[in-house]
Amino acid sequence: MQYKIELRLATVAEYTHLRTTVEWPAFEQSIIESALAGTLFSVCIMHDYTIVGMGRVIGDNAIYFHIQDVIVDPAYQLQGIGRIIVERCMEYIAKFSVKHTNIGLMCSKNREPFYKQFGFIERPNALHGAGILRLLHSFIIQPEKLFIP
């Protein structure tokens, strides 16, 4: 299949569509608009004028970068689209990174091997310790086990 790579932000509708295809939580339009406005770089993969994948980079554009929202419609997975997305994000980061730049990402369970091919490492490990996460009001964490100070 032929795909078109577009270096642009996904629209709110496109972003919502892709999140729905992978069963990620939905957000209100104003929340999505605010989140997307904080994007440093974004890539969309199109097929027949329909978005089938996206990814974006957020951060301070110098020391810390975070690859976010790497989403590929399940009907288009395992066709190299995810690789294209991450490669474009890494190319952007390379333009602005310095020695000791930190590139972070969170991935879905069992997707770690995919990101290892780009040089990412799993945590915890002896050098970097554990990666930790806090999700506020998440459907993943049971409310009775969530402590919010």
The length of the chain in residues reads 149
C-alpha torsion sign, points 39, 44, 49, 51:
negative
pLDDT 10s per residue in the chain (149 long)?
799 999 999 999 999 999 999 999 999 999 999 999 999 999 999 999 999 999 999 999 999 999 999 999 999 999 999 999 999 999 999 999 999 999 999 988 889 999 999 999 888 888 878 877 776 655 554 444 444 44
Q: Which strands sit side by side in the sheet containing 64-72, from one edge to the other?
A: 4-6, 41-47, 50-59, 64-72, 102-105
pLDDT in tens, 70-85: 999 999 999 999 999 9
pTM of the entire predicted model: 0.86
As given in the structure block, the two tokens for residue 26 are: 């939905």
DSSP H helices in the chain: 12-21, 29-37, 81-96, 112-116
- Residue ranges and CATH numbers for the domains of the chain are 4-145 (3.40.630.30)
